[in-house]
Amino acid sequence: MQPSFEALQLSPALTAVVHGLGYTRPTPIQIEAIPALLAGRDVIGQSQTGSGKTAAFALPILQGIEVDRHELQALVLCPTRELTAQVGREMRKLGRGHHGLQVLELVGGQPSRPQRDALERGAQIVIGTPGRLLDHLERGVMNPGSIKIVVLDEADRMLDMGFGEDVRKIIRFLPHDRQTALFSATFPGAIEAMSKEVQPDALRITIETPDEDLSDIRQLKLCFGTNDKLLALCRALQSQPHGSALVFCNQKATVREITKELGRRGVSVDRFDGDLEQFDRDQVLARFRNHSVRVLIATDVAGRGLDVEGLDLVINYDLPEQAEVYVHRIGRTGRAGANGVAISMVRDGADRDIEAIEEFTGQTMEILDHSASKHLRLDDLLKKLAEVPGMETIMISGGRKDKVRKGDILGALTGEAGGLSSKEIGKIEIQDKLSYVAVSQGVISDAVSRLNAGRIKGKRFRATHVGGEEARPSPRSDSFNDALKRSPQKGNPRSRIAPFRRKP
């Protein structure tokens, strides 16, 4: 039987809080990490969002906090503002029995002054993003002398976002006898190196996940020579010309490069990497799900949170470093009984890498038959890829909470005032505070103006055409609400026509 919280050496007070929150049993990562951290060990833990990893480090931190000392005792580094807020919420929830506890969130994009004042009041726990934390340390505003434990949360994403150097600098400010916990979903070489550096004797915690069933996925490989990787990618895409395709790269620089290259040539494409803020991630995914974006280029780190039904094709533009990652990537196609195709692009002579993967999966990859596109040059292929008729996405500023339903949106578009035919309308997705609707490319501006002029459920909502790399604001620029508040008439960059969808 699974152990209880009582068995993890948590204090009775914390155990009571946990039960009060309705957590009946600890999750696997909690079972492993809590006793180790309470015993003072460094840990390196494999964890996904939703595994309960926040409580796995928050509970031991809280147990060690001396609330009557008004000095900084624990530091948590997160890759994004969203995660910082999420960790902050969980920490406060679990710390509600600690009277006098101050948990402070310090992130970039906000004025420094109030953060400084709050630090001076003596928070015991600080959670934040590396850039801003380093800034406070370097200015001597934040005193690291009494820090007992530091947590690197979603460490792979922090590296993916280019925070590696900042993290290292922050660690150098901390006392030598501190405890270090590192959590990450993937373990590329860079994470292993960082762990060796900042926690040489860490206990490794890996959580077994159930094996993916790959039996519904056709696994193929496509070999290419040194100079024609893009050509090979186009051939792989052209082998399934009408479905959605998810393309994995090992680095976000590659993600950007290919997105740009394909987009410039009119292919329906967007990117999904660790630099995107939550709001943009939601938008890109909504557009991918409703087929406004046909090809999505992603890194593993970003791809983790990605669950798209009916994905026809997964392409490994770069082979992953680890066979486990391969399985995880291709497991995104062929879900729920549907058949999927996975194509791995293999540089001539890199057969050893493929063999390692084949050994791990126990299946041999077939060679992709691309004879149909073999005679085509890159330009012709790109032209063909750009020809597939696509959809465009409109975001409407009302959702479930406004009692907006699919039928209302359909009605607004097809009714007397709407004038669109139902053939021109694709998937409608209703979220809490907003909705997305896909419409045919040709009717997009018409549909946007009709929605803006008319009413849904007797109310006026704002409709915006969303999409495209260049239509996206720079990272860190705004929150969900700011983005909603901005009016398209005032030059909201999101409202521009997606540059990638137009043919050159």
Write the DSSP symbol of residue 333.
S
Q: In the complex with ligand AMP, which residue's Cβ is closer, 53 or 486?
A: 53
Q: In the complex with ligand AMP, which residue's Cβ is closer, 28 or 473?
A: 28
Q: In the complex with ligand AMP, which residue's Cβ is closer, 77 or 498?
A: 77
Least separation in angstroms between CB 5 and ligand AMP: 8
Q: In the complex with ligand AMP, which residue's Cβ is closer, 207 or 354?
A: 207
Least separation in angstroms between CB 6 and ligand AMP: 13
Q: Give the full edge-to-edge strand order of the sheet including 463-466.
A: 425-430, 435-440, 391-396, 463-466
Binding to ligand AMP (CB under 6 A) within 34-93 occurs at 49-55, 90
Which one of the spans 23-31, 200-208, 303-311, 442-450 is the region binding ligand AMP (CB under 6 A)?
23-31
CA distance 470 to 473: 8
Least separation in angstroms between CB 467 and ligand AMP: 30
Q: In the complex with ligand AMP, which residue's Cβ is closer, 54 or 115?
A: 54
Which one of the spans 26-34, 239-247, 321-329, 341-349 is the region binding ligand AMP (CB under 6 A)?
26-34
Binding to ligand AMP (CB under 6 A) within 359-398 occurs at none
Please pick, from the candidates 15, 26, 255, 368, the single residue that binds ligand AMP as defined by CB under 6 A.
26
C-alpha torsion sign, points 252, 255, 259, 260: positive
Q: Interhelix angle for 28-38 vs 53-64, to 10°? A: 20
| Beta pairing partners, 204 | 44
Least separation in angstroms between CB 184 and ligand AMP: 13
- Of how many residues is the chain composed? 504
Q: Which positions ≥6 away from 265 have C-beta within 8 Å?
A: 382, 383, 385, 386, 504
Q: In the complex with ligand AMP, which residue's Cβ is closer, 34 or 430?
A: 34
Least separation in angstroms between CB 475 and ligand AMP: 22
Least separation in angstroms between CB 93 and ligand AMP: 7
Which one of the spans 19-27, 120-128, 188-196, 224-232 is the region binding ligand AMP (CB under 6 A)?
19-27
Q: In the complex with ligand AMP, which residue's Cβ is closer, 91 or 498?
A: 91
CA distance 229 to 378: 10
Q: In the complex with ligand AMP, which residue's Cβ is closer, 47 or 254?
A: 47
Dihedral (Cα; 209, 213, 219, 224), 10-degree rounding: -10
CA distance 292 to 439: 8
Which one of the spans 22-30, 211-219, 228-236, 324-332 is the region binding ligand AMP (CB under 6 A)?
22-30
Around Cβ 500, how many Cβ atoms within 10 Å? Answer: 24
The 188-227 contact track toward ligand AMP, x by CB under 6 A, reads ----------------------------------------
Around Cβ 478, how many Cβ atoms within 10 Å? Answer: 16
**Phi and psi for 46 in degrees, rounded to 5?**
-90, 125
* C-alpha distances in Å from residue 451, one per residue of 249, 393, 464, 465, 492: 38, 13, 9, 11, 17
Least separation in angstroms between CB 207 and ligand AMP: 11
Least separation in angstroms between CB 11 and ligand AMP: 16
Rounded to 5 degrees, what angle do the CA atoms 263, 266, 267 make? 70
Q: Which positions ≥6 away from 207 have C-beta within 8 Å?
A: 28, 29, 32, 45, 46, 47, 51
Q: Total number of residues binding ligand AMP (CB under 6 A)?
A: 12
- Which DSSP string do the residues of 41-63 spell out, in sequence order? --EEEE--TTSSHHHHHHHHHHH
CA distance 35 to 49: 21
Please pick, from the candidates 8, 14, 17, 27, the single residue that binds ligand AMP as defined by CB under 6 A.
27
Q: In the complex with ligand AMP, which residue's Cβ is closer, 92 or 427?
A: 92
CA distance 19 to 316: 44
Which amino acid is present at 403?
K
Q: In the complex with ligand AMP, which residue's Cβ is closer, 59 or 381?
A: 59
Q: In the complex with ligand AMP, which residue's Cβ is closer, 183 or 288?
A: 183
The 88-127 contact track toward ligand AMP, x by CB under 6 A, reads --x-------------------------------------
Chain residues in the site for ligand AMP (CB under 6 A): 23, 26-27, 30, 49-55, 90
